[in-house]
Amino acid sequence: MKTRGERAIQLAVEIDAVRAQLKLLEVEFEQFISDDEKVVDATTTAATTAKDTNGLVPGSMATRVVELLNAHREKIFKAPVIARELGIKNVNSLRGTLRRLADSKRIDQPGRGKFRAAKESVTMSP
């Protein structure tokens, strides 16, 4: 029979193993369900695939980022702050979106890891 201390150690090891497994599952899940994708039914497919005048899908991560930055034009944001403000769990996915938005001039990147609203609104074709 194990002592309480031995059992506590065993439980801590098992908890760490389960947490590691959970992280792996979460990573795999994020590959299937991206914040940039919307789950839609047949009645809303046309609305979610239509793009606005900037070539962004309404409700997508990119659109939400642009809307947030435009709402706070005077502020400079870092990716983790944007993620928190928008409820985005996958910061790496967000960073990719930020890079694409900056490359396409939809947002400005005044420094490494810093983002703000574009100084001029750029209309992009889809």
Gap between the Cα atoms of 111 and 89, Å rounded: 23
Q: With respect to residue 14, please indicate whether it lies within any of the assigned structural domains.
A: no
Range of the domain at 85: 45-117
Q: With respect to residue 19, please indicate whether it lies within any of the assigned structural domains.
A: no
Gap between the Cα atoms of 44 and 69, Å rounded: 27
**Residue predicted with more confidence, 81 or 123:** 81
Q: With respect to residue 12, please indicate whether it lies within any of the assigned structural domains.
A: no
DSSP per-residue string spanning 24-67 = HHHHHHHHHS-TT-----TTTHHHHH---TTS--TTSHHHHHHH
Q: With respect to residue 71, please indicate whether it lies within any of the assigned structural domains.
A: yes
Give 33-66 pLDDT, tens digit per residue: 654 444 444 444 444 445 554 567 788 899 999 9
Q: With respect to residue 15, please indicate whether it lies within any of the assigned structural domains.
A: no
pLDDT at 53: 46
Q: Indicate the number of domains in the chain.
A: 1
Reply yes or no on whether the pLDDT at 112 is more than 60.
yes
> Three-state SS for 114?
strand
CA 84, 85, 89, 90 torsion-angle sign = negative
pTM over 0.85: no
pLDDT at 125: 43
Q: With respect to residue 25, please indicate whether it lies within any of the assigned structural domains.
A: no
- The CATH number assigned to the domain holding 85 equals 1.10.10.10
